[in-house]
Structure 1
Amino acid sequence: MLKSVLVLFLSLSSVAFAGLQEDFEALKSVPRDYTDSGSICEEVARLRIAEEYPAPQYTVEVGIAYGNAERTIGELDIIIFDNNLHKAIKLGEVKCWKDARGGLKKAQDQRARFLKNIRSGSGRNLEFVNTATHQRYDAEQFLHVNEFISIAQKGTTAVGYDMEMEYSLGEFNALRMKMIKCQQAGECAKP
């Protein structure tokens, strides 16, 4: 019995390692700043969502800030654009937090803030800008989004998240550190 449990554990560990290595390879060419601990979770979430919403029909973006001429109001973590419709169809909030319930509450608050602002009379006047590429988007592309998803680390659907990724916080941190070291060595794209 103990031997079969050990074999199962080792099998699952090697699957996680293989997935981490594949994600590392996929992210090597992405010029992202990984100093923020949540950045690696957002990038892996982008990879997973892109599997469900593949190009060329869809584009999955990370990090689009929205606001008015005076200030930034919020930032959208994951944005799924339907390229045929030329609009955002689904938004995701990524929260890889130790306090999973607190992260979920924050994601729900961010969703409510977005909806309040986009549906207000000034929603058409909001500015949307990708924080990495500085690409600008038309507010019209966001006016009719009504699908939202909360995303976090392994084990979080049990507390109410819509989607969990296959890695623990420790595994995400190890991947993040590997990306930082790779960037420092000049082997991975830098922002």
Structure 2
Amino acid sequence: MRDHPISPVTELLQYRAIGVVRGVYRPESDDQLTRGVLIDSDGNELEAVVLGRMLTLMRRHLDMTAPHLWVVYPRCRESEQLHLQIAGIWEPSTLATAESSDAEATDAEGALDQLPEGDDFFSIRGELIFTKPEANELVVKVRQLPRADGFRPLPFKVQLTGELPLEHLRHFVSLDVRRQGQLLAVEAFEVIAPMPTRGGKGREGSRKGGARPRPAKT
């Protein structure tokens, strides 16, 4: 069993936008389970949709009145309005309960369901296309892998708060991010490399033998 809901990075220029949010999912209606809101411990309501592979799990195995740690893909359709796609759940204690005695499972629950990064952690990797340090604003573009049917999803933009210097514009960056209400705030960043231009050159010259960007799976 994996020990973390966010997989390790396998390629230097690997795009992704993924995180975890703990809350209670409330669907729009009993007939419309795929759309609703995630309600966190502070009462914030985060607009959310459920991806198809999660529906059976939610219907058959989860107590929908209780909070869970959801694995989500963030989208920013409006300023200061976070939208989440629910792709999974991180709850190893559920498996532990099935495989262990009740006493053992109870002891394991607290440790198993906690992450070292804590709740509301996100990993954002992509091209820095906008940064305004004095206003605490930045935007990262994330590319997606083609789907099995050949459809190529368009890149999407993630709006964040934080300070990244202008000199890092058009560079591939890796961000550790924390959700704060409806906002995603940068806690730490790493500049990976300048982005290649159409002519195959980065801002610092030729990229012969360099790594190529790897789109996200989402």
Fold match (TM-score > 0.5): no
TM-score, normalization by structure 1:
0.26
TM-score by length of 2: 0.24
**Larger RCO (CA within 8 A; separation ≥ 6):** 1
- The structure where strand makes up a greater share of residues is 2
- More helix by percentage: 1
Q: Which has the larger radius of gyration?
A: 2
